[in-house]
């Protein structure tokens, strides 16, 4: 099986093949500009592997999150950094692409250990980042609190308060209203635009949805779609999945998640009184079952490679909205396309997060604080515009959404490289 980085390269090569972009530029895009690989010692003497990969800065300073995950590795960080270059280009942001990671399970650390680790990470890379150089943000396993610690550590090292070097901070530390829900909201905007193109019989209000992953991104898109009237029939987290044919009450699930950190104990709260009385509150599903359910919209919102050559034949959805980065492999994409399943790709569908980050960066630079409504309206405008540009390419060339998104993103970077 090819690696995540190889998969990303494959998607890039497919797009380059149908454009006039030269081989030199492809070579440039295949290699990150800089790879920082280092070890962090925690207070308890543990040594953790860590990375920051700066992929490309032709369109502006490097931009991208920092992931804390026990399976993180250099291949993954390189893939994620190149996806950031494409994502920022597609949304027409003045940024390039980067990504960082620490190979660690943050759930196993105390708050104090997490703080020490986050500060140590910044001490290792602080000379390589900056508001016009490389701007980190949260990703899987990292939070606004972690961004606050990092901002504080960086500010101490440079000798001045520097909020614009990080995005995804908490509001009282210079974060932006709306940034916490920006990725989920952006996914909704892309889905809305997509559904608006469908024939009228494809009723927007009654779509069934399955969401794989219930971290920041999965929980927020589930909540937004639930509030918009979609029926969320299945959700999952790393501990298990939950299925409710009549639709899950996402608000109740979120209440329980807030108290317990998990969704699997939420099932008793997520059902109607009648079903509880009948003794069959919910059927418990595995993550794999969820991916194969016959729903209208499947939303992978956790990690890469979950829809692959092994299960692509069994996917039961009509549309896949990629809220995770890289959840569908090229092998799976081919099978899904042949089966008529549409895939709205990560670099378009989940770019609301980095677009929200862009507006946080602007607010910090101008020392302004905008309202949530204002931020979300700006994200909506940017993503609607990006969607329409991709749609034009898709229709002109009669190609899939991912290929059209890659063509648009890579062409913008290539033109800037050639200037």
Cα(307)–Cα(311) distance, integer angstroms: 6
The residues near 397 (Cβ < 8 Å, ≥ 6 apart) are 18, 403, 404, 407
Q: Which residue has the tokens 């020392």?
A: 367
* Whether 384 contacts 412, CB under 8 Å: no
| Residue 325 is a binding residue for ligand GLU (CB under 6 A) | yes
Please, which residue, 149 or 166, has the CB nearer to ligand GLU? 166
Q: C-beta of 268: minimal distance to ligand GLU in Å?
A: 33
The helix (run of H) or strand (run of E) holding residue 415 is: helix 401-418
The residues near 20 (Cβ < 8 Å, ≥ 6 apart) are none
Nearest to 347 by CA among 46, 64, 52, 142: 64
| Residue 323 is a binding residue for ligand GLU (CB under 6 A) | no
Strand partners, 134: 62, 130
Instruction: Identify the sign of the CA torsion 29, 30, 32, 33.
Output: negative
Dihedral-angle region of residue 98 (phi above 0 means left; psi in -120 to 50 means alpha; beta otherwise): beta
Concatenate the DSSP letters of all residues of 318-334 into one string: SEEE--SSS-B-HHHHH
Cα(298)–Cα(157) distance, integer angstroms: 44
The residue number with the shortest CB distance to ligand GLU is 65
Number of residues in contact with ligand GLU under rule CB under 6 A: 12
Q: Which stretch binds ligand GLU (CB under 6 A): 7-15, 102-110, 299-307, 347-355?
A: 347-355
Residue of the chain from 118, 162, 167, 329 that contacts ligand GLU (CB under 6 A):
167
| Residue 357 is a binding residue for ligand GLU (CB under 6 A) | yes
Cα(180)–Cα(357) distance, integer angstroms: 10
Residues carrying an active site annotation: 99
Please, which residue, 186 or 234, has the CB nearer to ligand GLU? 186
Q: C-beta of 182: minimal distance to ligand GLU in Å?
A: 8
Q: Which stretch binds ligand GLU (CB under 6 A): 53-61, 156-164, 330-338, 351-359?
A: 351-359
Cα(308)–Cα(335) distance, integer angstroms: 9
| Residue 405 is a binding residue for ligand GLU (CB under 6 A) | no
Q: SS3 for 145?
A: helix
Rounded-to-5 percentages of helix, strand, coil across the chain: 50, 15, 30
| Residue 139 is a binding residue for ligand GLU (CB under 6 A) | yes
Cα(211)–Cα(223) distance, integer angstroms: 11
Which of the 8 DSSP states describes residue 307? B
Q: Which two tokens stand for residue 24?
A: 């030199």
- The two beta strands, 97-103 and 47-56, are antiparallel
| Residue 8 is a binding residue for ligand GLU (CB under 6 A) | no
Q: C-beta of 135: minimal distance to ligand GLU in Å?
A: 7
Strand partners, 236: 212, 241
Task: Tell me the per-residue interface mask from 78 to 117 with ligand GLU, x by CB under 6 A, - otherwise.
Answer: ---------x------------------------------
Residue of the chain from 52, 55, 63, 223 that contacts ligand GLU (CB under 6 A):
63
| Residue 353 is a binding residue for ligand GLU (CB under 6 A) | yes
| Residue 65 is a binding residue for ligand GLU (CB under 6 A) | yes
CA triple 216-219-223, angle to 5 deg: 130
Q: Which residues bind ligand GLU (CB under 6 A)?
A: 63-65, 87, 137, 139, 167, 325, 350, 353-354, 357
């Amino acid at each position: 099986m090819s690696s995540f980085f190889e998969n990303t390269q494959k998607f890039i090569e497919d797009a380059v093949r149908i454009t006039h972009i030269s081989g030199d530029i492809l070579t440039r895009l295949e290699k990150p500009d800089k790879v920082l690989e280092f070890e962090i010692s925690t207070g308890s003497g543990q040594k953790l592997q860590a990375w920051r990969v700066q992929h490309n800065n032709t369109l502006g300073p490097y931009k991208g999150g920092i992931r804390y995950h026990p399976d993180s590795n250099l291949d993954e960080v390189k893939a994620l950094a190149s996806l950031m270059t494409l994502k920022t280009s597609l949304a027409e942001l003045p940024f390039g692409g980067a990504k960082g990671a620490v190979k660690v399970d943050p759930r196993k650390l105390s708050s104090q250990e997490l703080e020490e680790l986050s500060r140590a990470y910044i001490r290792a890379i602080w000379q390589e980042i900056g508001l016009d150089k490389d701007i980190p943000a949260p990703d899987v396993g990292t939070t606004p609190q972690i961004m606050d610690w990092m901002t504080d550590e960086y500010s101490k090292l440079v000798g001045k308060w520097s909020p614009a070097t990080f995005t995804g901070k908490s509001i009282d530390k210079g974060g932006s209203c709306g940034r916490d829900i920006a990725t989920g909201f952006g996914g909704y905007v892309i889905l809305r635009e997509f559904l608006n193109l469908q024939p009228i019989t494809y009723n927007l209000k009654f779509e069934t949805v399955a969401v794989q992953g219930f971290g920041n991104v999965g929980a927020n898109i589930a909540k937004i779609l639930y509030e918009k009237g979609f029926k969320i029939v299945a959700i999952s987290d790393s501990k298990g999945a939950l299925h409710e044919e009549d639709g899950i009450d996402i608000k109740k699930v979120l209440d329980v998640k807030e108290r317990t950190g998990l969704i699997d104990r939420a099932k008793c709260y997520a059902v109607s009184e009648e079903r509880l009385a009948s003794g069959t509150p919910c059927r418990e599903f595995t993550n794999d079952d969820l991916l194969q359910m016959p729903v209208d919209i499947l939303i992978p919102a956790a990690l890469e490679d979950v829809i692959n050559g092994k299960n692509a034949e069994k996917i039961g959805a009509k549309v896949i909205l990629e809220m995770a980065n890289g959840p569908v492999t090229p092998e799976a994409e081919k099978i899904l396309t042949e089966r008529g399943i549409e895939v709205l790709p990560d670099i378009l569908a989940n770019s609301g997060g980095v677009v929200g980050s862009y507006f946080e960066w602007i607010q910090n630079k101008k020392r302004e604080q905008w309202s949530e409504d204002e931020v979300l309206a700006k994200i909506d405008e940017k993503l609607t515009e990006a969607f329409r540009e991709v749609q034009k390419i898709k229709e002109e060339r009669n190609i899939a959404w991912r290929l059209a998104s890659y063509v648009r993103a890579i062409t913008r970077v290539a033109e800037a490289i050639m200037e």
